[in-house]
Structures are given as structure tokens and as C-alpha cells.
Amino acid sequence: MNDVLDVALRLIVVFAVFLVLPLVVGQTEHKVMAHMQGRLGPMYAGGFHGWAQLVADGVKFAQKEDVVPAGADRRIFQLAPAVALLPYLLVLLAIPIGPGEGAVGQVIDAGVFFVLAVMGVGVLGSLMAGWASANKFSLLGGLRTAAQLLAYELPMLLAAASVAMAAGTVSLPGIVEAFEWWWLPWQIVGALVFFTAGLAELQRPPFDMPVADSEIIFGAYTEYTGLRFALFLLAEYAGIVVLCFLTTVLFLGGWHGPLGAEGLGWVWTLLKTAVLAFVVIWLRVSYPRLREDQLQKLAWTALIPLALAQIALTGIVKVAIQ
Amino acid sequence: MTPAATVAAAATNGPGFLSPTGVEIAFLLVGLATFGAALVTVTTKQLVHAALWLVVALGGIAVEYLLLTAEFIAWVQVLIYLGSVIVLLLFGLMLTKAPIGRSPDADSGNRWIALGVAVVAAASLVWVVVDAFRTTWIDLDGPVQGSTKVSGEILFQHWVLPFEALSVLLLAALIGAIVLSRRNDPADARDKGKR
């Protein structure tokens, strides 16, 4: 009975994190973007600096009519948001935020593989949405999504493999356990490649060609309304949370910090994740969108060679220090 | 997958088939679901649906790996097949011709021959696997036998030569693809010169 209770408790906590953190990131995005652009952002909903804006948005989405286009493939159209969202929930289960068994939903032996594999599945949701909408813009968006995933999955994997080599394990808690401060300069190239490729996989600006509003309206999500559209948005923000967590865990040492009291490791993890999420928003405000050919060129001619060089460096240093 | 790691017990004192455990029942049910999804994949008239049913079938195989405690292989299956191969397939379908609804012209006249080949291939595979692992039992309660560590050790100690041979094969395929896609047709070159 105790085991069942334990599992249930962990699931509830992970689910709560899954529901709350994306909203926090979304609200931060509203405010940070506003201030970077010299305006205030939402100020009314909830009273204090518009903190309830996203809750109000959620209520609005829930009230809207759920439209399925007449020419669409009904079932796949309706299934797509769930396929896009659920993988991120599964990934959150495997991310350790503190040392010990208590601070991770489920310890998975091949954690790095699990996390990257399941994240890749989320893109199927966008592809299904793009195809099933029976809309040319959606189809173009789906195509661009697929091309982007194919290009950026490889550097992401290679960068993660470099850390796994350095730590000598593919388990996420094991990697953080093995982390030393000098890994930071050693793995910095891999970290940048991983973060950039992750941004591209999430289709965040400046890699938001698949949803470029000035060209193809909203890409694969053009035909979606109401709650299903909200689920796609939630998937994007959950993706940001997951990517920032992963970068923190793999490259920034997770719960290690310069002055960490026992038991406060999770504060460091959350702090680093928050800083990375801020960077994600910052990049959105600062950089223009990359063109499709520039996107592909960046992946194949810059990120992949860099990731391979990082792996070579990791191997050399690893052999040298043994 | 990992014959040296699977705990070998003599057939005489191995467990029987008559009192299945929960895991065995789950394995059978997932297997049936996977088989069903695979059948729909080849019989559905809708191209993209076939690709999506293939997702279910390949995912089912990943679950089977998990139930056999081969955790590493399971995640690699998800990463390579669900994450990359299916995306490539869908990409190809979207680029060429993927109408919503049925595409009756997608049927091939070879379907009976294909069925025969499939049945023969399946029968020989089943026979080989059954014959090879007849007396081998996986101890599900003991230490995990398909973990990354075990798989890695077996792959790079006992099977390193086939592994290297396979990577050379893949490299050859890669170079072949590049050569094929870069081959300059003389007519093409003339066309480009005119422009």
C-alpha cells in the first residue's frame, strides 16, 4: 500500500509541476517581452501586475467553440494535441531536481535516451496536425516541422552523448552526480549546441519558421481553436520547461551550487532553469526569424561539426585524465 | 538480444507455460495489439493512417522490450523508429502524395506474393528464435539484464566485429546515397547552362 501511495504522490507532484511551470514561464514571457519592448504588458487580470492573465486566457479558450474543418481527417485532427503534449509530461517524470531518490519522479537507467526519445515523439503531434487539417498552410508548416526535427535531432543527440561520455553513465541523476565545476568550460560547446538545437526542436524564435505567421499563418496549428489550440500552446511552454531542465541537468550541474546547504539542491536546479527560461524569452525578443535554408544550413554546417568536435574533445580529455 | 546475459536455466527445471505471471499476460496482450496494428498498417487504404498505425506497432515492440527488461533497446527503438524513421516517412508522404481519405491506387498487384514472402519470413524467424532460445529463461525478478551497462559490455566485447561491419555497411550506404543524389545528368547540365 505504501508503494502505491508513494507512486501516486510522485505522479501528482510531477503533474502539478507540469501544469504550473509552463504557466509561470508563459506569464514571465508576457512581462519580460513587454518590458524589453518598453511597454507594461498585461496589468488588469487578477489585480497585481496582471498575474491572472493566463488563467483568464485559459477560461477564454475553454469557452471557444471546438471547430473541426469539414475536409479534415477528424480523428487524427482531434488526437494531435494530445500526442504533442503528453511526451513532455513523460519526460518530466525522469528529470531529477535534487540529489537522492526523493527528488525525481522515476529513476530511469538510460535516462538520457529516454528523455531525447520521448521528446522526439512530441513532434509527431505537429506532423499529424499539419496533415490532418486539410489546409495548405498547415501542410507546409508540418513539412517545415519535420525538416527541422530531422536536422536538429542529430546535434542534440551528439551533444548529449558528449556529456554521457564525460560522466560515464547515461542515467540523468548519475550525470549530475558526476558533475564537477570544470565540466562547464569543458562542455560549453556541447551545451550551446544542445540548447540551440533544443530551441529549434521546440520551434521557438528565432527558429519558428514552421509557424511563421507572416507566411503561413500559424503553420500546423492554423485550423485549431479553443482548448485544442491551448493544448498546443501548453505543449510549447512545457517544452521550454523541459529543455531548460535538461540543459541544467546535463550541462550546468543540476543541484550543485557554489554555496549549497544540504537539502537545498532543488533551489539551485530551479534557479538555473529559471535563468535559462529567461534566456529563451530574451532570444525571442532579440533575434529575427531564420529563413528555411538558413535554418538547415545552421544545423548541418555549424551545429553538427561543433557537436562532433565536442565529442572528440570529450574523448581526448577523458582519456588524458584517466 | 543478449544471449550471454539471459539467465540460462536448464529446460527441465525452467518455469512452464501453464501458470502465466502478470508480466507474461501483459507481454501476450501487447503482442496481440502490436500484431493488430501491424495488420492494419498493411491493409488500410489511407496512406498516412498506415504510417500512424506503424507508430503504434513500433511502439508496441518497444513496450515488449521493456517487459523483457531490455530497457536500453526499448528507448533506442523509440528514438530511432518513432522519432526519426516515422518522421522521415511522414515527411516523404507529405512531400509526394498524401490525400486525406482513401487512395485506391495505392494497392499493389503483388499483394499475394508479398503475403507469401511475409509469412515465410515470419515463419523462419519464429522457428530460428524458438529453436535458439528454447531453454533460456529471463529472470524478471532478478537484476536487470538489458540495462545499458550490460548491453554495452556485450556489444563491445562479444559482438564488436559484427558491430563494426554494420557501421561500414551503413557508411557505404551513406556514400552511395550522396553519389546517387549528386550524379550529374548531361541533359540536366545543359539545361542549367541555358538558364
The answer to whether B56 faces chain A, any CB pair under 8 Å, is no
Q: What residues of B are in contact with residue A117 (Cβ under 8 Å)?
A: 75-76, 78-79, 82-83
Among candidates B53, B15, B19, B51, which has minimal Cα distance to B34? B53
- Residue in A131, A143, A153, A223 to test binding to B, most B beta-carbons within 10 Å: A131
Pairs across A and B, CB distance < 8 A: 87
Residues of B in contact with A143 (CB under 8 A): 91, 94-95
Question: Could you tell me the three cell numbers for A244?
Answer: 531548460
Residue of B57, B99, B73 whose CA lies nearest to B5? B73
Of A118, A139, A142, nearest to B78 by CB-CB distance is: A118
Q: What is the pLDDT of residues B3-25, one digit of tens each?
A: 444 444 334 455 666 667 777 78
Highest mean pLDDT (candidates A257-266, B76-85, B115-124): B115-124
| DSSP-H helix ranges across A168-255 | 172-178, 183-186, 188-201, 213-216, 226-251
How confident is the model at residue B4, as a pLDDT? 41
Backbone angles phi, psi at B174, to 5 degrees: -60, -50
CB atoms within 10 A of CB A125: 23
Instruction: Reply yes or no on whether the pLDDT at B37 is more than 50.
Output: yes
Give the contacts of B17 (CB within 8 A, at least 6 positions apart). Answer: none
> Hey, of A109, A114, A149, which one would you mutate to test binding to chain B, going by the most B CBs within 10 A of its CB?
A109
Contact B48 A131 (CB under 8 A): yes
Least Cα separation, residue A222 to chain B (angstroms): 17
| Nearest CA-CA distance, residue A143 and chain B, Å | 6
| Residue B36 resides in a domain | yes
pLDDT in tens, chain A (322 residues): 577 887 788 888 888 888 888 888 888 888 888 888 888 878 887 778 878 888 888 888 888 888 888 877 888 888 888 888 888 888 888 888 777 666 666 777 778 888 888 888 888 888 888 888 888 888 888 888 888 888 888 898 899 988 888 888 888 888 888 888 888 888 888 899 999 998 888 888 888 877 777 888 887 888 888 888 888 888 888 889 999 988 988 888 877 777 766 667 778 888 888 899 999 989 888 888 888 888 888 888 988 999 999 999 988 888 888 7
Q: What is the model's pLDDT at position B195?
A: 46
Distance separating alpha carbons of residues A55 and A168, to the nearest angstrom:
44
The answer, for A110 touching chain B at a CB cutoff of 8 Å, is yes
Residue B136 belongs to some domain of the structure: yes
Cβ pair B90:A131 closer than 8 A? yes
For residue B142, is pLDDT > 70? Answer: no
ipTM above 0.85, yes or no: no
Q: What percent of chain B has pLDDT over 70?
A: 78
Cell of A211: 509557424
Q: What is the number of domains present in chain B?
A: 1
Residue B181 lies in a domain: no
> How much is the pLDDT for A151?
85
- Are B94 and A146 within 8 A, CB to CB? yes
Distance from C-alpha of B114 to C-alpha of B65, rounded to nearest angstrom: 27
How is residue A48 annotated by DSSP?
S
Q: Report which of B2, B9, B17, B5 is spatially closest to residue B143, judged by C-alpha positions.
A: B5
Q: How far apart are CA A49 and CA A38, in angstroms?
A: 15
Using an 8 Å CB-CB cutoff, list chain B residues near A124.
55, 82, 86-87, 90
B183: left (phi over 0), alpha (psi -120 to 50) or beta: beta
- Predicted confidence band at B191 (pLDDT cuts at 50, 70, 90)? low
**Does residue B191 lie within any of the structural domains?**
no
CB contact under 8 A, A139 and B144: no
Chain A residues touching B147 at Cβ < 8 A: 109-110
> Reduced to 3 states, what is the DSSP secondary structure of residue B136?
strand
Chain A environment of B90 (Cβ under 8 Å): 124, 127, 131, 142, 146
- Among chain B residues, the shortest Cα distance to A164 is held by B148
Q: Do the domain assignments include residue B101?
A: yes
**B55 at A interface, C-beta within 8 A:** yes
Residues B173-195, mean pLDDT to the nearest whole number = 72
What residues form DSSP beta bridges with B136?
Answer: B8
Backbone angles phi, psi at B8, to 5 degrees: -85, 125
Q: How far apart are CA A247 and CA A172, in angstroms?
A: 11
By the 10 Å C-beta count (0-12 exposed, 13-18 middle, 19+ buried), A78 is classed as middle
Domain residue limits, chain A: 66-321
Residue B87 and residue A127: Cβ atoms within 8 Å? Answer: yes
Supply the pTM of this predicted model: 0.83
pLDDT at residue A261, as a whole number: 61
Which residue reads 488588469 in cell numbers? Answer: A44
CB contact under 8 A, A113 and B86: no
The one-letter code for the residue type at A121 is V
Spatial separation of the C-alpha atoms in residues A238 and A247, rounded to whole Å: 14
* DSSP secondary structure string for all residues of B78-110: IIIIIIIIHHHHHHHHHHS---SS--GGG--TT
Retrieve residue B116's grid coordinates: 507469401
C-alpha cell at B141: 525478478
A-contacting residues in B 89-148 (Cβ below 8 Å): 90-91, 93-95, 98, 100-101, 144, 147-148
Query: What residues contact A120, with CB distance under 8 A and at least 6 apart?
Result: A149, A153, A201, B78, B79, B82, B83, B84, B87
What is the nearest CA distance from B122 to chain A, expressed in angstroms?
Answer: 28
Question: Any bridge partners for residue B8, and if so which?
Answer: B136
Could you tell me the CATH number of the domain that includes residue B48? 1.20.120.1200
Residue with more model confidence, B58 or A290: B58
